[in-house]
Amino acid sequence: LLRKELQQAVNNLLEAELTAFLGYDPYARNGWNTGNSRNGAYYRKVDTQFGQIEIKVPRDRNVEFHQHTMPDYKRHTG
């Protein structure tokens, strides 16, 4: 149960981080024709003290977004 909640919290945090980076919410009209937009996501498995979780890391069209929640290529938490 705790592992599932942790996974949901990390995924929500990553989505919020992309929203803050782009400056608009998903499907918002003010984001149209801005030159950068959401471009799907990729999945990573990360080992935590509560077990393995699968996080969904969002991407942007121009590949300018680098999330700070989980360092790139890191598969284990400290």
User: How is the chain split among helix, strand and coil, in percent rounded to 5?
Assistant: 30, 30, 40
pLDDT at 1 over 90: no
What backbone phi and psi angles, to 5 degrees, belong to 11? -65, -40
Task: Give the angle subtended at the CA of 7 by the CAs of 17 and 77, to the nearest 5°.
Answer: 85
* Contact criterion met (CB below 8 Å) for 70 and 64: no
Domain definitions of the chain by residue range: 2-27+38-60
pTM: 0.83
Residues 9-67 pLDDT 10s? 999 999 999 999 998 888 888 878 888 888 899 999 999 888 999 999 999 999 888 88
